[in-house]
Chains A and B, each alone.
Chain A
Amino acid sequence: GENVEQHPSTLSVQEGDSAVIKCTYSDSASNYFPWYKQELGKRPQLIIDIRSNVGEKKDQRIAVTLNKTAKHFSLHITETQPEDSAVYFCAASIGNTDKLIFGTGTRLQVFP
């Protein structure tokens, strides 16, 4: 079946450095790729998303890139801050449906 692989599972960076989280997906028909941030004890919240007709999208310190040929997409966080510390999940749509399949999550720790 379809799956999404996410790496790394944990990531520690110094404040001000960049962080990159990578995901690969198996379903070539996937057309929607959101990223969610889940702070400790809170609900996952959408931080950025990209559709398959776009190669890159940026929102302030956060950017997502998509390589459809290689079937992978990445989250880039620049100038990291302690409040960026959280678990980040990538997801991919199952084909052109409303359903998402999620990666296993990356725990990001930003040290002051």
Chain B
Amino acid sequence: DVKVTQSSRYLVKRTGEKVFLECVQDMDHENMFWYRQDPGLGLRLIYFSYDVKMKEKGDIPEGYSVSREKKERFSLILESASTNQTSMYLCASRRFPGATNYGYTFGSGTRLTVV
């Protein structure tokens, strides 16, 4: 069974802290994504990576950065956490285009609260 694993289910951090959210997939997928999910706003793309050390900004990258040193791991970094970054963060992966299955596989999410 394919898996996308996010390291923490719940996280509480203080304003100004540097926060790392980790995501690991075991499917050898090339593409990985970070979304945040907020009520009434759906899922919004923060960053996207299509290969090791490659990254691309999504719709709401401000206040975030990412790291992809290995194919299976994609990290989201909040450089200085703020209360408006309190949200559910979802990681996803998918195979490079050309494969028959285009669907994303999501992780279980990390609910981050910044106090």
| Chain A residues in the interface with B (C-beta under 8 A) | 1, 6, 9, 32, 34, 36, 42-46, 49, 51, 89, 91, 98-105
Contact = CB atoms under 8 A, between A and B. Distances in A.
Contacts of B48: 98-99
B108 interface: yes
Interface residues of B, number: 25
Main secondary structure of the interface of B (DSSP, over half): strand
A49 B102 contact: yes
A59 B58 CA distance: 32
Contacts of A51: 102
Interface string B46-64: 0010100000001100000
A49 B94 CA distance: 14
Contact of B102 (A9, A32, A36): A32
Contact of B108 (A36, A42, A100, A101): A42
